[in-house]
Amino acid sequence: MSTDLPVELPDGVDLAELRSVATAVAVEAAALIVDERPSGLGVSRTKSSRTDIVTVMDQRSQDLLRSRLAQLRPQDAFHGEEEGQRAGSSGITWVVDPIDGTVNYLYEIPAYAVSVAAVVGDPTREGGWRPVAGAVVNPVTGERFAAALGHGATRAVGDGRAETLAVGDPELAVSLCGTGFGYDADRRAWQGAVLAQVLPSVRDIRRIGSAALDLCHVADGGLDVYYERGLGAWDMAAGWLVATEAGAVVTTVAGDPPGTAWTVAGGPRNQADLRAVIGRAVEVVGEED
Protein backbone atom coordinates (compact mmCIF):
# COMPACT_ATOMS: atom_id res chain seq x y z
CA MET A 1 0.00 0.00 0.00
CA SER A 2 1.14 3.52 -0.67
CA THR A 3 2.27 5.25 2.50
CA ASP A 4 0.81 8.55 1.29
CA LEU A 5 -1.80 9.39 3.92
CA PRO A 6 -4.41 12.19 3.95
CA VAL A 7 -3.20 13.22 7.42
CA GLU A 8 -0.04 12.54 9.41
CA LEU A 9 0.16 9.29 11.32
CA PRO A 10 -0.02 10.25 15.02
CA ASP A 11 3.30 10.17 16.86
CA GLY A 12 4.10 7.01 18.73
CA VAL A 13 1.57 4.81 16.95
CA ASP A 14 2.61 1.14 16.88
CA LEU A 15 0.97 -0.26 13.74
CA ALA A 16 1.75 -3.87 14.65
CA GLU A 17 0.01 -3.33 17.98
CA LEU A 18 -3.04 -1.88 16.24
CA ARG A 19 -3.12 -4.92 13.96
CA SER A 20 -3.02 -7.20 17.02
CA VAL A 21 -5.85 -5.27 18.67
CA ALA A 22 -7.95 -5.42 15.49
CA THR A 23 -7.43 -9.17 15.20
CA ALA A 24 -8.16 -9.88 18.85
CA VAL A 25 -11.43 -7.96 18.99
CA ALA A 26 -12.56 -9.27 15.59
CA VAL A 27 -11.96 -12.85 16.75
CA GLU A 28 -13.96 -12.17 19.91
CA ALA A 29 -16.90 -10.69 17.99
CA ALA A 30 -16.74 -13.52 15.46
CA ALA A 31 -17.13 -16.06 18.26
CA LEU A 32 -20.09 -14.10 19.65
CA ILE A 33 -22.09 -14.08 16.42
CA VAL A 34 -21.67 -17.83 15.96
CA ASP A 35 -21.89 -19.08 19.54
CA GLU A 36 -24.84 -16.89 20.54
CA ARG A 37 -26.75 -16.89 17.28
CA PRO A 38 -30.46 -17.19 18.15
CA SER A 39 -32.29 -20.21 16.77
CA GLY A 40 -34.95 -17.87 15.38
CA LEU A 41 -32.72 -15.00 14.36
CA GLY A 42 -34.48 -11.68 14.82
CA VAL A 43 -34.48 -8.76 12.40
CA SER A 44 -34.46 -5.60 14.47
CA ARG A 45 -35.06 -3.07 11.71
CA THR A 46 -34.42 -2.23 8.08
CA LYS A 47 -32.07 0.46 6.82
CA SER A 48 -32.19 1.72 3.24
CA SER A 49 -34.85 -0.70 1.93
CA ARG A 50 -36.90 -3.76 2.89
CA THR A 51 -34.04 -6.00 1.75
CA ASP A 52 -31.37 -4.10 3.73
CA ILE A 53 -31.74 -5.68 7.14
CA VAL A 54 -30.05 -5.29 10.50
CA THR A 55 -30.12 -8.26 12.82
CA VAL A 56 -30.12 -8.23 16.58
CA MET A 57 -26.67 -9.83 16.36
CA ASP A 58 -25.32 -6.98 14.20
CA GLN A 59 -25.93 -4.60 17.07
CA ARG A 60 -24.67 -7.01 19.72
CA SER A 61 -21.47 -7.58 17.77
CA GLN A 62 -20.89 -3.87 17.33
CA ASP A 63 -21.62 -3.20 21.02
CA LEU A 64 -18.96 -5.77 21.93
CA LEU A 65 -16.42 -4.26 19.54
CA ARG A 66 -17.10 -0.76 20.83
CA SER A 67 -16.76 -1.85 24.45
CA ARG A 68 -13.56 -3.83 23.95
CA LEU A 69 -11.90 -1.11 21.89
CA ALA A 70 -12.85 1.48 24.53
CA GLN A 71 -11.08 -0.67 27.12
CA LEU A 72 -7.99 -1.29 25.01
CA ARG A 73 -7.73 2.08 23.22
CA PRO A 74 -9.78 4.61 25.24
CA GLN A 75 -8.46 7.70 23.41
CA ASP A 76 -9.46 6.44 19.95
CA ALA A 77 -12.65 7.29 18.07
CA PHE A 78 -15.15 4.66 16.95
CA HIS A 79 -17.16 4.54 13.70
CA GLY A 80 -19.40 1.54 13.07
CA GLU A 81 -22.10 0.58 10.63
CA GLU A 82 -24.77 0.36 13.32
CA GLU A 83 -25.82 2.67 16.17
CA GLY A 84 -23.18 3.84 18.63
CA GLN A 85 -20.36 6.17 17.50
CA ARG A 86 -17.67 7.72 19.70
CA ALA A 87 -15.34 10.71 19.31
CA GLY A 88 -11.66 10.45 20.20
CA SER A 89 -8.50 12.48 20.71
CA SER A 90 -5.70 10.20 19.48
CA GLY A 91 -6.03 10.70 15.71
CA ILE A 92 -7.00 7.03 15.27
CA THR A 93 -10.56 5.95 14.45
CA TRP A 94 -11.76 2.34 14.56
CA VAL A 95 -14.02 1.60 11.60
CA VAL A 96 -15.95 -1.63 12.06
CA ASP A 97 -18.51 -3.78 10.33
CA PRO A 98 -19.93 -6.11 13.00
CA ILE A 99 -21.27 -8.58 10.44
CA ASP A 100 -20.27 -7.97 6.83
CA GLY A 101 -22.58 -10.19 4.82
CA THR A 102 -25.66 -9.99 7.03
CA VAL A 103 -27.92 -11.72 4.50
CA ASN A 104 -25.48 -14.64 4.30
CA TYR A 105 -25.54 -14.73 8.10
CA LEU A 106 -29.34 -14.85 8.14
CA TYR A 107 -29.40 -17.71 5.64
CA GLU A 108 -26.47 -19.50 7.29
CA ILE A 109 -24.31 -19.22 4.17
CA PRO A 110 -20.70 -19.40 5.45
CA ALA A 111 -19.47 -16.21 3.80
CA TYR A 112 -19.71 -13.44 6.35
CA ALA A 113 -17.12 -11.73 8.50
CA VAL A 114 -16.28 -9.27 11.22
CA SER A 115 -14.19 -6.38 9.86
CA VAL A 116 -12.16 -4.09 12.14
CA ALA A 117 -9.77 -1.38 10.96
CA ALA A 118 -7.79 1.46 12.51
CA VAL A 119 -7.81 4.47 10.19
CA VAL A 120 -6.41 7.99 10.05
CA GLY A 121 -8.40 10.90 8.71
CA ASP A 122 -12.17 11.32 8.62
CA PRO A 123 -13.95 8.09 7.54
CA THR A 124 -17.12 10.05 6.78
CA ARG A 125 -15.33 12.11 4.08
CA GLU A 126 -14.67 10.55 0.68
CA GLY A 127 -10.94 10.36 0.04
CA GLY A 128 -10.16 11.86 3.44
CA TRP A 129 -9.06 8.73 5.29
CA ARG A 130 -6.88 5.62 4.97
CA PRO A 131 -6.69 2.34 6.90
CA VAL A 132 -3.40 1.71 8.70
CA ALA A 133 -4.14 -1.59 10.46
CA GLY A 134 -6.97 -4.08 10.35
CA ALA A 135 -8.36 -7.58 10.42
CA VAL A 136 -11.16 -9.52 8.76
CA VAL A 137 -12.33 -12.73 10.43
CA ASN A 138 -14.66 -15.35 8.95
CA PRO A 139 -16.01 -17.16 12.01
CA VAL A 140 -17.24 -20.20 10.08
CA THR A 141 -14.08 -21.03 8.12
CA GLY A 142 -11.74 -19.79 10.84
CA GLU A 143 -9.90 -17.54 8.36
CA ARG A 144 -8.16 -14.51 9.89
CA PHE A 145 -6.85 -11.88 7.49
CA ALA A 146 -4.68 -9.14 8.99
CA ALA A 147 -2.54 -6.25 7.78
CA ALA A 148 -0.66 -3.16 8.95
CA LEU A 149 0.62 -0.33 6.80
CA GLY A 150 4.07 -1.26 5.48
CA HIS A 151 4.01 -4.64 7.24
CA GLY A 152 2.35 -6.79 4.58
CA ALA A 153 -0.80 -8.89 4.78
CA THR A 154 -1.35 -12.38 6.19
CA ARG A 155 -3.95 -15.12 6.30
CA ALA A 156 -4.24 -17.76 9.01
CA VAL A 157 -6.78 -20.55 9.49
CA GLY A 158 -7.63 -21.85 12.93
CA ASP A 159 -4.47 -22.36 14.92
CA GLY A 160 -2.36 -22.56 11.78
CA ARG A 161 0.62 -20.40 11.04
CA ALA A 162 -0.05 -17.14 9.22
CA GLU A 163 0.96 -17.07 5.56
CA THR A 164 2.08 -13.91 3.79
CA LEU A 165 -0.20 -12.90 0.94
CA ALA A 166 0.85 -11.73 -2.52
CA VAL A 167 -1.71 -10.75 -5.12
CA GLY A 168 -1.75 -12.37 -8.56
CA ASP A 169 -2.12 -10.43 -11.80
CA PRO A 170 -3.39 -12.59 -14.67
CA GLU A 171 -4.69 -10.92 -17.78
CA LEU A 172 -8.26 -9.75 -17.42
CA ALA A 173 -9.71 -12.27 -19.88
CA VAL A 174 -8.77 -15.13 -17.54
CA SER A 175 -9.44 -13.26 -14.28
CA LEU A 176 -12.18 -14.40 -11.92
CA CYS A 177 -14.12 -11.27 -11.00
CA GLY A 178 -16.05 -10.65 -7.80
CA THR A 179 -18.77 -8.07 -7.46
CA GLY A 180 -21.74 -7.13 -5.31
CA PHE A 181 -25.09 -5.40 -5.55
CA GLY A 182 -26.86 -2.72 -3.55
CA TYR A 183 -30.14 -3.15 -1.73
CA ASP A 184 -32.13 -0.53 -3.66
CA ALA A 185 -34.01 -2.13 -6.57
CA ASP A 186 -33.16 0.62 -9.08
CA ARG A 187 -29.46 0.43 -8.18
CA ARG A 188 -29.45 -3.36 -8.58
CA ALA A 189 -31.03 -3.04 -12.01
CA TRP A 190 -28.34 -0.55 -13.06
CA GLN A 191 -25.58 -2.71 -11.62
CA GLY A 192 -26.96 -5.72 -13.49
CA ALA A 193 -26.83 -3.81 -16.75
CA VAL A 194 -23.21 -2.81 -16.09
CA LEU A 195 -22.37 -6.40 -15.18
CA ALA A 196 -23.76 -7.65 -18.49
CA GLN A 197 -21.21 -5.42 -20.24
CA VAL A 198 -18.32 -6.51 -17.97
CA LEU A 199 -18.97 -10.27 -18.09
CA PRO A 200 -17.60 -10.96 -21.61
CA SER A 201 -14.25 -9.39 -20.62
CA VAL A 202 -13.49 -11.69 -17.64
CA ARG A 203 -13.26 -15.42 -16.94
CA ASP A 204 -16.43 -15.46 -14.86
CA ILE A 205 -18.28 -13.59 -12.12
CA ARG A 206 -18.73 -14.45 -8.45
CA ARG A 207 -21.10 -12.71 -6.03
CA ILE A 208 -19.96 -13.83 -2.57
CA GLY A 209 -21.99 -11.37 -0.52
CA SER A 210 -19.30 -9.80 1.68
CA ALA A 211 -17.19 -6.93 0.39
CA ALA A 212 -14.64 -7.42 3.18
CA LEU A 213 -14.10 -11.05 2.16
CA ASP A 214 -14.07 -10.14 -1.55
CA LEU A 215 -11.16 -7.75 -0.98
CA CYS A 216 -9.32 -10.31 1.14
CA HIS A 217 -9.83 -12.93 -1.55
CA VAL A 218 -8.19 -10.64 -4.09
CA ALA A 219 -5.23 -10.72 -1.70
CA ASP A 220 -5.18 -14.51 -1.34
CA GLY A 221 -6.01 -15.40 -4.95
CA GLY A 222 -9.57 -16.58 -4.35
CA LEU A 223 -10.54 -13.78 -6.74
CA ASP A 224 -8.35 -12.07 -9.32
CA VAL A 225 -10.28 -8.78 -9.48
CA TYR A 226 -13.24 -7.22 -7.75
CA TYR A 227 -15.47 -4.20 -8.19
CA GLU A 228 -18.53 -2.77 -6.49
CA ARG A 229 -20.49 0.44 -6.22
CA GLY A 230 -21.92 1.88 -3.01
CA LEU A 231 -19.58 0.57 -0.30
CA GLY A 232 -19.36 2.32 3.05
CA ALA A 233 -16.11 2.85 4.90
CA TRP A 234 -16.94 -0.06 7.24
CA ASP A 235 -17.41 -2.42 4.26
CA MET A 236 -13.97 -1.80 2.80
CA ALA A 237 -11.60 -0.43 5.44
CA ALA A 238 -9.85 -3.60 6.64
CA GLY A 239 -10.18 -5.45 3.33
CA TRP A 240 -8.75 -2.49 1.41
CA LEU A 241 -5.62 -2.62 3.56
CA VAL A 242 -5.28 -6.41 3.34
CA ALA A 243 -5.52 -6.21 -0.45
CA THR A 244 -3.07 -3.34 -0.89
CA GLU A 245 -0.56 -4.76 1.57
CA ALA A 246 -0.64 -7.93 -0.56
CA GLY A 247 0.27 -5.83 -3.60
CA ALA A 248 -3.16 -5.06 -5.02
CA VAL A 249 -4.29 -1.73 -6.44
CA VAL A 250 -7.58 -0.47 -4.96
CA THR A 251 -9.12 2.67 -6.44
CA THR A 252 -12.22 4.11 -8.02
CA VAL A 253 -12.79 3.71 -11.76
CA ALA A 254 -11.13 7.11 -12.16
CA GLY A 255 -8.08 6.03 -10.14
CA ASP A 256 -8.89 7.97 -6.96
CA PRO A 257 -9.04 6.44 -3.46
CA PRO A 258 -11.96 3.98 -3.27
CA GLY A 259 -15.26 5.10 -1.84
CA THR A 260 -19.00 5.05 -2.21
CA ALA A 261 -18.89 5.66 -5.97
CA TRP A 262 -16.60 2.74 -6.86
CA THR A 263 -14.19 0.26 -5.36
CA VAL A 264 -12.09 -1.63 -7.92
CA ALA A 265 -9.35 -4.05 -6.80
CA GLY A 266 -6.83 -6.30 -8.51
CA GLY A 267 -3.25 -6.60 -9.62
CA PRO A 268 -1.55 -3.59 -11.23
CA ARG A 269 -2.37 -4.77 -14.77
CA ASN A 270 -5.78 -6.43 -14.51
CA GLN A 271 -7.15 -3.74 -12.19
CA ALA A 272 -6.30 -1.05 -14.73
CA ASP A 273 -7.90 -3.13 -17.49
CA LEU A 274 -11.02 -3.72 -15.40
CA ARG A 275 -11.35 -0.01 -14.71
CA ALA A 276 -11.30 0.62 -18.45
CA VAL A 277 -13.94 -2.05 -19.05
CA ILE A 278 -16.21 -0.62 -16.35
CA GLY A 279 -15.76 2.86 -17.76
CA ARG A 280 -16.87 1.67 -21.21
CA ALA A 281 -19.75 -0.24 -19.66
CA VAL A 282 -21.04 2.89 -17.95
CA GLU A 283 -20.82 4.76 -21.25
CA VAL A 284 -23.04 2.09 -22.86
CA VAL A 285 -25.52 1.77 -20.00
CA GLY A 286 -25.52 5.43 -18.96
CA GLU A 287 -24.86 6.96 -15.57
CA GLU A 288 -26.94 5.78 -12.64
CA ASP A 289 -30.01 7.95 -12.04
pLDDT in tens, 139-161: 999 999 999 999 999 999 988 89
Whether residue 79 contacts residue 123, with contact meaning beta carbons closer than 8 Å, is answered with yes
> Structural domain tally of the chain?
2
pLDDT surpasses 70 at 51: no
Question: How many other CB atoms are found less than 10 A from the CB of residue 206?
Answer: 16
Whether 272 is covered by a domain: the verdict is yes
84: containing domain? 15-164
Task: Give CA–CA dist 217/232, Å, rounded.
Answer: 19
Same domain, 60 and 133: yes
Whether 2 is covered by a domain: the verdict is no
Q: How far is CA 157 from CA 15, 33, 163, 229, 273, in A?
A: 22, 18, 9, 30, 32
pLDDT tens digits for range 87-138? 999 999 999 999 999 999 988 899 999 999 999 999 999 999 999 999 999 9
Whether 197 is covered by a domain: the verdict is yes
Same domain, 35 and 158: yes
Whether residue 80 contacts residue 115, with contact meaning beta carbons closer than 8 Å, is answered with no
Whether 201 is covered by a domain: the verdict is yes
Same domain, 91 and 199: no
Listed residues 116, 145, 164: the one ending a domain: 164
pLDDT surpasses 80 at 163: yes
Same domain, 217 and 153: no
pTM score: 0.94
List of residues 6+ apart from 216 with CB closer than 8 A: 136, 143, 145, 155, 222, 239, 242, 243
According to DSSP, the β-strands at 152-157 and 225-228 are unpaired
Which CATH number is 203's domain given?
A: 3.40.190.80
Same domain, 108 and 216: no
